[in-house]
Amino acid sequence: MATATNDAVFIRNVSIEAVVGLDGWGRPKPQPVLLSVRIPYPRHSIEAANVSDNISDCLDYRVIYKALRTLDHQTFEGIFQLADKVARQIEETGDGPVKMEVTVLLPNGLVQSEGVSAHLHLSPKGAIEAKYYEIHKMVIPCILGIGDHERPRKQPVVVDVKLDRPDFLPTGLKPDSTLEYERIFQNYEASEFFTLEKLVTNMAGFILRDLNTPWTTVTVSAEKPVIFAFARGPGVEITRTVDDFARR
């Protein structure tokens, strides 16, 4: 009996330029965008292409690439509107809805970070199975630690954030601006906590309770990359919901 596998065809980081809401500086200007799509693929289709070594038995990723490139130099209200458009483009290249994972990355979407990304996971019928937003490697210089050498000066703390909610959000919901997430940097640049646990828990509460965003679940990961001479650094990751910070 053949082993069950999770075979897939994917294309990563198709580069386009587009207006996607506001850029990292708060302007409605074109910015670089990287589009990625992953499509689960039946094992028998992979095996057919393996036997024939013929592109006629393959999912032609050239078609996917060309479909994504047609989104170049367009304007989108927000990052999830673009992600939805990516999914529709893929559907139009084939026979309609297909199970897929779509990622839209804005490398310059938040100036204190390595970018923000939107993620859509769609069922074979085109229904949303997962929808979340990520902030990648936001660098926040702050005072953090218990060591005497850590208290007089700031050190870089690298933060990753994942934002989610169970109902996945209606596609037409007005997008939130990346400038709202800049408040994370502004709020914690002046912090002077002793532990990473305090920092990530406080930050999770700030994101869910104080920011103007529609998300109800947050995962916050923070690490201190320069504290040890011969290690990348210690880190803490937590996941919290709005219920964890309900005001009493």
Which domains does the chain show, CATH number per domain? 1-126 (3.30.1130.10), 138-247 (3.30.1130.10)
In whole angstroms, give the CA distance from residue 167 to residue 241. Answer: 13
CA distance 205 to 197: 12
Write down the pLDDT at residue 174. 54
Confidence (pLDDT) at 89: 94
Q: Please state the pTM of the whole predicted model.
A: 0.91
Q: What is the mean pLDDT of each run of 10 residues along the chain (248 residues)?
A: 73 98 95 96 82 81 93 96 96 86 97 96 91 97 95 97 80 66 96 98 96 93 95 94 83
CB atoms near residue 24 (< 10 Å): 20
